Amino acid sequence: MARKSGEMGFVDFTSHKIVLPVSSETAFNFLRNLNNFEKMMPEQVINWHSTESDCEFDIKGMAHIGLVKQNEVPASSVSIVSKPDNPIELKLRGNIEPASDGSSEVVLVLSANLSPILKMMASAPLQNLVNIMADRLQKVLSN
């Protein structure tokens, strides 16, 4: 069934693939703990509060966001979704693949339920966000 123009719809923003010098298990264990996500966020994220399974923060001058871990597949993927009171419905998935040399490859996929107008305004910043998060993940796990 075709959507009417103006209707909300999920849009995916996929990071570039990063190679981590750690096993897929190590990458998974980092991503499954939402306390670690603060290290991956850009400077615009303030007022960070987290536990292993959820986090809340403000995007400076924009919105308050709450996320909660939804699903995980050991050494393979972690899925995080927005809390019901978020201004935008979000899903974030970290896909992890082991490499033959003991390292791992990770791709982050952010899905946002956006109206056509929000899609025009938010696409570039959301794409930038997943790439920043991937770059910072690589930096943190490469040290």
The pLDDT confidence band at residue 60, using thresholds 50, 70 and 90, is confident
Q: Is the pLDDT of residue 6 over 80?
A: no
The pLDDT confidence band at residue 55, using thresholds 50, 70 and 90, is very high
Q: Mean pLDDT of all residues in the chain? A: 93
Share of the chain above pLDDT 70, in %: 96
Q: Which CATH architecture has domain 10-31+71-142?
A: 2-Layer Sandwich (3.30)
The pLDDT confidence band at residue 2, using thresholds 50, 70 and 90, is very low
Return the amino acid letter for 131: N
From 23, 29, 27, 62, select the one nearest 44 (Cα to Cα). Answer: 62
* Confidence at residue 5, expressed as pLDDT on a 0 to 100 scale: 52
* Confidence at residue 72, expressed as pLDDT on a 0 to 100 scale: 97
The pLDDT confidence band at residue 143, using thresholds 50, 70 and 90, is confident
Return the amino acid letter for 101: D
The span from the CA of 137 to the CA of 73, in Å, is: 19
Please classify residue 4 by burial: count the beta carbons closer than 10 Å to its beta carbon, then call 0-12 exposed, 13-18 middle and 19+ buried: exposed
* Contacting residues for 17 by C-beta, under 8 A, at least 6 apart: 105, 106, 107
Q: Is the pLDDT of residue 3 over 70?
A: no
The span from the CA of 28 to the CA of 104, in Å, is: 10
Claim: this prediction has a pTM higher than 0.75: yes
Query: How far is residue 106 from each of residues 31, 63, 109, measured CA to CA in Å?
Result: 10, 27, 10
Query: How far is residue 50 from each of residues 2, 11, 53, 54, measured CA to CA in Å?
Result: 39, 26, 8, 6
* Confidence at residue 4, expressed as pLDDT on a 0 to 100 scale: 52
